[in-house]
C-alpha cells in the first residue's frame, strides 16, 4: 500500500522551515477574538511573514466561535488555518488542517487518546488535513492548559525527560513535537530543554508559551526551535511587538549553525 503523501498545509510548514530556518505560528483564541477584530490582525500577521494561524484555547466550548473565526481568516488572508483543539468543541469544518495532537504527559487518558478517538470521525467527515503532533507541557507554571489537561509537567531542569517524551512522540509516528510552557507563562521553555529535545528528534520542534519579546523568540530559535507560537502578544494588540517577534523568528538561526 502506498504511503499517504503529506498534505498541503504540512508541506507549506516544512517548506517554510527549510527556507527560513524557523517559522512563526500565530495563535488566536476564539474566545478572545471576534471575527471583526481578527481580520485586521490577520492581515498584519500575513504581511509580517507569519506562516499560519492556529485556532484554539484551553477553555473553548462553542464550535461556532471557532468556525466563524476560521471563515473570516480564510476570507481575509491566504494564511492556512490550523485547528489547535482543546477537545471536540475545537473541531470544525471551516479550517484547512488540524494539529491532531496527543497531550503526551497528561495523567488522564482522555487527553492522550480519548478525545482524539471521538474527534477522528469528524476530522474525516470535514476533510481536514490531520497533522499528527506530540504535545508536551513543560515547567511548573500554573497555566490553563496544564490544569485542564491534567498534565504532569516536565520540570525545566530535567531536559532529558523532555527529550525522552519527544523521541517517544517521534517513534509513535507524530510528525511535529510541541513544547508548551502554557499561554502567558512567565517561564518560557528554557533553551536547554529545547536544545536537548532538538538533539534527540528528527521531527520539527514547535515551542510556545510566554514568548513575548523578539529576544525570547530568538533565544528559542537559537536553541533549536523550528517554529515559535505566540498568542498572548497578539491578544495584547501591540502589533509592533508581534511584527518584531516574527522578524526575529525568520532571521537565520545563527546560533544553531544550521
Ligand atoms: C499557548 O504556546 C501558546 O498554547 C502561546 O502562548 O499565549 O504565551 O504566547 P502565549
Residue list, ligand 1 pocket, CB within 6 Å: 27, 180, 183-185, 208-211, 229-233
The DSSP call for residue 252 is -
User: According to the model, what pLDDT value does residue 258 have?
Assistant: 39
Rounded to the nearest integer, the mean pLDDT of the chain is: 94
The mean pLDDT of 81-90, rounded to a whole number, is 97
Distance of CA 235 to the CA centre of its chain: 16
Q: In terms of Cα–Cα distance, which of 86, 164, 144 is closest to 154?
A: 164
User: According to the model, what pLDDT value does residue 252 have?
Assistant: 58
User: Is 50 exceeded by the pLDDT of residue 235?
Assistant: yes
pTM for this model (two decimals): 0.96
CA 164 / ligand 1 centre spacing (Å): 23
- Ligand 1 pocket test, pick from 180, 186, 205, 207 with the greatest ligand atom count within 8 Å of Cβ, gives 180
Greater pLDDT, 1 or 157: 157
User: Is 60 exceeded by the pLDDT of residue 245?
Assistant: yes
The DSSP call for residue 4 is P
Q: Which three cell numbers stand for residue 115?
A: 478525545
**Residue-range domains of the chain with CATH:** 9-255 (3.20.20.390)
Q: Which long-range contacts (CB under 8 A, 24 or more apart) does 146-153 make?
A: 146/182, 147/58, 148/58, 148/59, 148/86, 149/58, 149/103, 149/106, 149/108, 149/111, 150/106, 150/107, 150/108, 150/111, 151/103, 151/105, 151/106, 151/107, 152/105, 152/106, 152/107, 153/105
The mean pLDDT of 81-93, rounded to a whole number, is 97
CA 195 / ligand 1 centre spacing (Å): 19
Three-state secondary structure call for residue 26: strand
Kindly state the percentage of the chain with pLDDT values over 70. 97
Amino acid at each position: 500500500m502506498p504511503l499517504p503523501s503529506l498534505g498541503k498545509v504540512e508541506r507549506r510548514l516544512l517548506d517554510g522551515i527549510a527556507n527560513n530556518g524557523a517559522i512563526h505560528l500565530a495563535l488566536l483564541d476564539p474566545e478572545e477574538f471576534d471575527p471583526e477584530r481578527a481580520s485586521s490582525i490577520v492581515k498584519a500577521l500575513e504581511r509580517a511573514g507569519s506562516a499560519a494561524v492556529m485556532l484554539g484555547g484551553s477553555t473553548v466550548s462553542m464550535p461556532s466561535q471557532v468556525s466563524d473565526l476560521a471563515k473570516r481568516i480564510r476570507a481575509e488572508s491566504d494564511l492556512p488555518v490550523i485547528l489547535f483543539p482543546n477537545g471536540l468543541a475545537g473541531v470544525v469544518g471551516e479550517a484547512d488542517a488540524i494539529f491532531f495532537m496527543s497531550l503526551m504527559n497528561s495523567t488522564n487518558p482522555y487527553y492522550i487518546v480519548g478525545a482524539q478517538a471521538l474527534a477522528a470521525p469528524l476530522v474525516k467527515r470535514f476533510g481536514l488535513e490531520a497533522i499528527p503532533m506530540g504535545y508536551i507541557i513543560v515547567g511548573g507554571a500554573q497555566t490553563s492548559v496544564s490544569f485542564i489537561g491534567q498534565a504532569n509537567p516536565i520540570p525545566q531542569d530535567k531536559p532529558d525527560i523532555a527529550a525522552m517524551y519527544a523521541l517517544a512522540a517521534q517513534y509513535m509516528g507524530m510528525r511535529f513535537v510541541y513544547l508548551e510552557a502554557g499561554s502567558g507563562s512567565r517561564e518560557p521553555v528554557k533553551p536547554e530543554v529545547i536544545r536537548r529535545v532538538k538533539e534527540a528528534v528528527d521531527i520539527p520542534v514547535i515551542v510556545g508559551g510566554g514568548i513575548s519579546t523578539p529576544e525570547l523568540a530568538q533565544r528559542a530559535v537559537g536553541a533549536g526551535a523550528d517554529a515559535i507560537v505566540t498568542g498572548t502578544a497578539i491578544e495584547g494588540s501591540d502589533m509592533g511587538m508581534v511584527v518584531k517577534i516574527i522578524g526575529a523568528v525568520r532571521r537565520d538561526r545563527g546560533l544553531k549553525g544550521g
